[in-house]
Amino acid sequence: MAATSAATLSIGSTACVGAKANSAYNSKTSGLSFNSRNCLRSFTGLKAASSVSCDSDSSFVGKESCAAIQHSFVSRAQKPSQRSYNYVQPRASYKVAILGAAGGIGQPLALLIKMSPLVSTLKLYDVANVKGVAADLSHCNTPSQVFDFTGDKELASCLKDVNVVVIPAGVPRKPGMTRDDLFNINASIVKDLIEAVADNCPDAFIHIISNPVNSTVPIAAEVLKQKGVYDPKKLFGVTTLDVVRANTFVAQEKNLRLIDVDVPVVGGHAGITILPLLSKTKPSVAFTDEEVQELTVKIQNAGTEVVEAKAGAGSATLSMSYAAARFVESSLRALDGDSDVYECSYVQSNLTELPFFASRIKLGRNGVEALIKSELEGLTEYEQKALEALKPELKASIEKGINFVHKQPVAA
């Protein structure tokens, strides 16, 4: 890829929080803008400028990373007869493992994570077909090195010393299936993988994508408890896709700039347990009762819409990969020292009587730093009723996951 001078490269996605600068939590962004007549030799291959600036309206690089990029943007003299060139050397220092990397979510997710300037090592694991994925991905000229691991015998090596583990492994939904129909297969997969995580990288951030998330996160928690390494601050159910969908649908409905829109989504990650808090939308916007009901149902059923549209060929793989990559990037920014990172996630929680609940959280170097309680205050009557209605279903899903582990012995 090549571009002429004054070209701009923007890598990333809109952050979860689209609030203004004076808000309690700001829209976190990242991007790289390059402008000039000089040539910039970097992994992007762009012709651009002699300086780097960080765009505040995108989100693939945190402020700590931007600072590192700016400091590492050093002019290196060539021979007198040649032009001098400037080099961007992003600080890539984190190791990420994707378990289920050859699947429908795993492959595009691996590509998106490979683009992150914060990742030094990308480890791809699956039971089969992962070598080709790794070989293909390794040709992308971004900083991270790619390694492949196949089968149970190589799982421990994959997990050694990683900072973030992402688990999309499992079977996808098919038409007519609910997320709960996936339980018996995916529950065993998640249990086995988490046992390996507990043994090899117990301090890593763990991102659970495998459905049903409402049950697989409690499964992971119970396994980690039995292994004696459970840290509730580092276990996350990835519900970012619900936020991504809510933001998209509201922006379309209200003709808003998508980058400005932020809708918190609480509860769980299936059906009526997905509760978008439209009254908390930023920027503030008015909805009729009919719009609230229609948008809520649309957001709750968006996954089913994709499954049916693909007619047996898969589930929401691309949008899920995008959302998961965004959450991974937020985690990496937090690990890198960014003190202003907020996302919605399904975590151990005391915001309700349920042991696990999705809500806005603040991320830090040690994982969950705070649960944002304020967004559950001052709900509309519709939202309050919906919140109470989702609790029995979410509770049953949590108990199902916990009971599964208690019936299945955890390997020593």
d(CA 267, CA 159): 30
Asked if 274 and 300 touch (Cβ cutoff 8 Å), the reply is yes
CB under 8 Å to 273, separation ≥6 — which residues? 214, 267, 390, 393, 394, 397
CB under 8 Å to 252, separation ≥6 — which residues? none
Between the alpha carbon of residue 234 and those of residues 125, 156, 229, the distances in Å are 21, 19, 11
Pairing of β 32-34 and β 52-54: antiparallel
Q: Is the dihedral of CA 33, 38, 42, 44 positive or negative?
A: positive
Which tokens in the block code for residue 148? 């492949």
CA angle at 255 for the pair 252 and 259, rounded to the nearest 5°: 80
The enclosing H or E element of 128 equals none
Given the residues 71, 139, 207, 269, select the one marked as catalytic: 269
d(CA 78, CA 163): 38
Residue with tokens 């992003």: 90
Whether 71 is catalytic: no
d(CA 252, CA 373): 28
Closest Cα to residue 251, out of 280, 273, 282? 282
The enclosing H or E element of 268 equals none
What CA dihedral angle connects 71, 51, 364 and 378, to 10 degrees?
150
The enclosing H or E element of 404 equals helix 381-407
CB under 8 Å to 268, separation ≥6 — which residues? 213, 214, 239, 274, 346, 356, 357, 358, 390, 393, 394, 397
Asked if 144 and 98 touch (Cβ cutoff 8 Å), the reply is no
Asked if 318 and 4 touch (Cβ cutoff 8 Å), the reply is no
Asked if 325 and 112 touch (Cβ cutoff 8 Å), the reply is yes
Would you call 366 helix, strand, or coil by DSSP?
coil
The enclosing H or E element of 344 equals strand 341-348
Active-site residues: which are they? 269
